Structure 1
Amino acid sequence: MATIELLAKICDETPKLSQDKVNRRSIFGLVNEFQNDDAAFLDVGHIFRRTATTVERTMGGTSGAIYAIFLNAVANSLTDQAQALANPSTSTNLPNLIRASLQRGLHELCHYTPAHIGHRTLMHALIPFVEAYTARASLRDAVLEARKGAETTRQMAAALGRASYVGRDRLFDEEGGIPDPGALGVVSILKGVEAVLGE
């Protein structure tokens, strides 16, 4: 499947993102970026790199910076390990390469942000996903871990991010609390990826 077709399907499978003006702008930016003539021939490292650049340019805010740092770190790792993938004498395959790169990306991201489990941010979904997937869980199970992580933020006081400025009563008075929107955004993206790759 061509890169632009894959991206368009992921966007279709990511309903939450289409509700938000900033994220909608990022999606359109990604679609435009991958409509270039060379998009179908990009390797996975370049796909992560272009995605990071587009998100950084179009999303803005702390979430945009976190996504950009993470995706760039993943892209760097994929590029560094590309020779291992091309060498038939090694046992490295693409899923293992992606697992290692996601782990490296998360490790590098944690050097740039104090956000971690317990702070009620998008990291509540990203960290469980990366940890589960790199521990060889299936993509589906790793996405479920991300969802569980997002759900744990329902009754959690925000220590960082925009939610830390919102009154606790507004976060906790509906349906047992509202999960962190950033964490739900990560889950939405991952569910879109899972839906497309699972076909």
Structure 2
Amino acid sequence: MEQSFTNEDGLSVVVKVIETIKSNREYLSEVDSVGGDGDHGINMSKGFTMAEKEIENQGQINMSEGFKIISGVLVNKIGGSMGPLYGSFFRGLSVASRKQAAITKEVFGAMLEKAYQNIAMLTEAKIGDKTLMDVLIPAVETYQAQESASSFEECLEEMQRAAKAGLESTKQMAAKVGRASRIGDRSLGHQDAGATSCYLILEALAEGTKNLL
């Protein structure tokens, strides 16, 4: 099994992320209907569909450029709270990989770290607050903990397990930040919408990457 893929081939990972969000449009909005406005899936799908069209119009681009396009669309055309957060996330993936012709497990780890750092600059949310950070932080930390001793694929699989566990954990939490905090304990028993979309994005990143290894 290969331990890297080219930045050019990595455009398929970008496509995988876009397709995943679009296909989960109704699911994300359904999850969001408990503590939010019920439009998370609509807004996310709208943004990723717009990015998809822009990418198709660009011709030959690589993974880093694809993530940069997603970032720009989410920040400039979607807005709300998720636009800037996920825009910063994808900007991080792009910046950390744009000078790399080959994407190794170390480069991927740097991409995750930069994406996390970008979001952390915009929110004070931490583990236990019932947000996307309940998925992102354990996923990134788990990947990094595996990096020195495991294969690229093993790192991804452990990251996926941690992300899934993080998502499940939000069901046991009362929302403390964001719109869902308005209903407090009534959000118990329901997973967070932002955590759900974060899980789907990380899952798509991992599966798309494994398809290239």
TM-score (norm 1): 0.78
Counterpart residue number, 1:45: 64
Following TM superposition, by how much is the alpha carbon of 1:8 offset from its aligned partner in structure 2, in angstroms? 4.3
Unaligned runs of 5+ in 2: 1-8, 28-40, 148-153
Tell me: CA distance 1:59–1:146, structure 2 relative to 1, closer, same or farther (3 Å): farther
Tell me: CA distance 1:134–1:27, structure 2 relative to 1, closer, same or farther (3 Å): same
Whether 1:71 and 2:90 are equivalent positions in the alignment is yes
Following TM superposition, by how much is the alpha carbon of 1:29 offset from its aligned partner in structure 2, in angstroms? 0.9
Following TM superposition, by how much is the alpha carbon of 1:95 offset from its aligned partner in structure 2, in angstroms? 2.8
For the Cα contact (< 8 Å) 2:136–2:163, is it kept in 1? yes
Whether 1:111 and 2:130 are equivalent positions in the alignment is no
Aligned counterpart for 2:182 among listed residues 140, 146, 165: 165
For the Cα contact (< 8 Å) 1:124–1:149, is it kept in 2? yes
Task: Measure the CA separation in 2 of the matches of 1:94 and 1:6.
Answer: 14
For the Cα contact (< 8 Å) 1:7–1:31, is it kept in 2? no
Query: Which secondary structure does the structure 2 equivalent of 1:129 belong to?
Result: helix
Query: Which secondary structure does the structure 2 equivalent of 1:128 belong to?
Result: helix
Task: Measure the CA separation in 2 of the matches of 1:2 and 1:35.
Answer: 15
Following TM superposition, by how much is the alpha carbon of 1:57 offset from its aligned partner in structure 2, in angstroms? 2.9
Whether 1:56 and 2:75 are equivalent positions in the alignment is yes
Following TM superposition, by how much is the alpha carbon of 1:108 offset from its aligned partner in structure 2, in angstroms? 3.7
Aligned counterpart for 1:121 among listed residues 121, 131, 135: 131
Unaligned runs of 5+ in 1: 87-91
For the Cα contact (< 8 Å) 1:17–1:185, is it kept in 2? no
Following TM superposition, by how much is the alpha carbon of 1:6 offset from its aligned partner in structure 2, in angstroms? 5.0
Tell me: CA distance 1:9–1:155, structure 2 relative to 1, closer, same or farther (3 Å): closer
Counterpart residue number, 1:94: 104
Number of residues of Structure 1 aligned to a counterpart in Structure 2: 182
Identity among equivalent positions (%) equals 25
Greater RCO (CA < 8 Å, at least 6 residues apart): 2
Which amino acid in 1 is paired with 2:70? Answer: T
Tell me: CA distance 1:37–1:105, structure 2 relative to 1, closer, same or farther (3 Å): closer
Query: Which secondary structure does the structure 2 equivalent of 1:34 belong to?
Result: helix
CA RMSD of aligned residues (A): 2.5
Q: Deviations over 1:93-148 (max 9, x none)?
A: 53312211321332243232111112111111111121122232521220121111
Counterpart residue number, 2:200: 188
Following TM superposition, by how much is the alpha carbon of 1:58 offset from its aligned partner in structure 2, in angstroms? 3.6
Following TM superposition, by how much is the alpha carbon of 1:149 offset from its aligned partner in structure 2, in angstroms? 0.7
Following TM superposition, by how much is the alpha carbon of 1:32 offset from its aligned partner in structure 2, in angstroms? 0.5
Tell me: CA distance 1:101–1:26, structure 2 relative to 1, closer, same or farther (3 Å): same
TM-score (norm 2): 0.73
For the Cα contact (< 8 Å) 1:18–1:24, is it kept in 2? no
Whether 1:21 and 2:57 are equivalent positions in the alignment is no
Counterpart residue number, 2:140: 130
